[in-house]
A and B are shown apart, each in its own frame.
Chain A
Amino acid sequence: AQKVTQTQTSISVVEKTTVTMDCVYETRDSSYFLFWYKQTASGEIVFLIRQDSYKKENATVGHYSLNFQKPKSSIGLIITATQIEDSAVYFCAMRSMSNYNVLYFGSGTKLTVEP
């Protein structure tokens, strides 16, 4: 069975600092794909970044990067130079090769960026 766990319910940071959000996953598959999505206060959900399990290099997109620790089944999201507009709920998600039509989400971490 696949499972995604985000233990941080909420995080508050000061603008322009760096924040890391944790995520651990469970799967028996050797091949899987990890995603981070952002949900704004309006409810809109947008894709941020993806990590393929077979890639050793951590993915980076803009001011988002990932800390992929495969032995620990961990995929942390790092946001550098945070902005007020980064305030949102961040969801970690996973899709396994054996069941790739289903995307499993974690419970989300609410990020508040303060001036």
Chain B
Amino acid sequence: AQTIHQWPVAEIKAVGSPLSLGCTIKGKSSPNLYWYWQATGGTLQQLFYSITVGQVESVVQLNLSASRPKDDQFILSTEKLLLSHSGFYLCAWSPDRGPNERLFFGHGTKLSVL
């Protein structure tokens, strides 16, 4: 069975500090990977997607970057946090590239920027 693990569960960070969030998928080779951001009480906004190791595509510009250093790992980061970065970050995966594929979400990371 496939599993998705996100870390950390929660972070409290200062404005201007760096950030690194991670996501690992086990039990599925070459998954499509996604990062989503959700403001408190808000919708889910797709940030990045990756269909293969080393390749990441940006969907929206929020002063964040993403990398896929391994087939099963997806990293979201920034060198300088903004207050607007606060929210809930969710990693997701899908087994194939098909447009009808469902997404499987991780449990998310709650980020508070103070």
Chain A residues in the interface with B (C-beta under 8 A)? 31-33, 35, 37, 42-47, 50, 52, 91, 93, 95-97, 100-108
If A43-B88, A102-B59 are given as contacts, then 12 extra A-B residue pairs at C-beta distance below 8 Å, sorted by A number, are: A44-B105, A45-B90, A45-B92, A45-B105, A46-B105, A52-B100, A93-B44, A100-B98, A102-B46, A103-B34, A103-B103, A108-B43
CA distance A91 to B44 in the complex (A): 9
CA distance A106 to B92 in the complex (A): 17
A residues within 8 A CB of B51?
Answer: 101
Our pick among B57, B105, B110 for the contact of A101 (Cβ within 8 Å) is: B57
Chain A: interface secondary structure? strand
Chain B: number of interface residues, binned into ranges: 20 to 34
Closest-CB distance, B104 to chain A (whole angstroms): 8
A residues within 8 A CB of B46?
Answer: 102-104
A-B residue pairs, 4 tightest by C-beta: A100-B99, A47-B102, A45-B105, A105-B44
Our pick among A95, A97, A107 for the contact of B43 (Cβ within 8 Å) is: A107
B residues within 8 A CB of A37?
Answer: 103
A residues within 8 A CB of B5?
Answer: none
Given A33-B99, A102-B49, CB of A44 within 8 Å of CB of B107: yes
Task: Using CB atoms, name the residue of chain B closest to A101.
Answer: B49
A97 touches B99 (CB 8 A): yes
CA distance A35 to B100 in the complex (A): 9
Task: Using CB atoms, name the residue of chain B closest to A6.
Answer: B43
B31 at the interface (CB under 8 A from A): no
Per-residue contact bits, chain B 90-101, to A (CB 8 Å; 1 contact, 0 not):
101000011110
Task: Using CB atoms, name the residue of chain B closest to A91.
Answer: B44
A residues within 8 A CB of B99?
Answer: 31-33, 95-97, 100
A47 touches B103 (CB 8 A): yes
A residues within 8 A CB of B44?
Answer: 45, 91, 93, 105
CA distance A32 to B45 in the complex (A): 19
Name the interface residues of B62-114: CB closer than 8 Å to any CB of A: 88, 90, 92, 97-100, 102-105, 107-108, 110
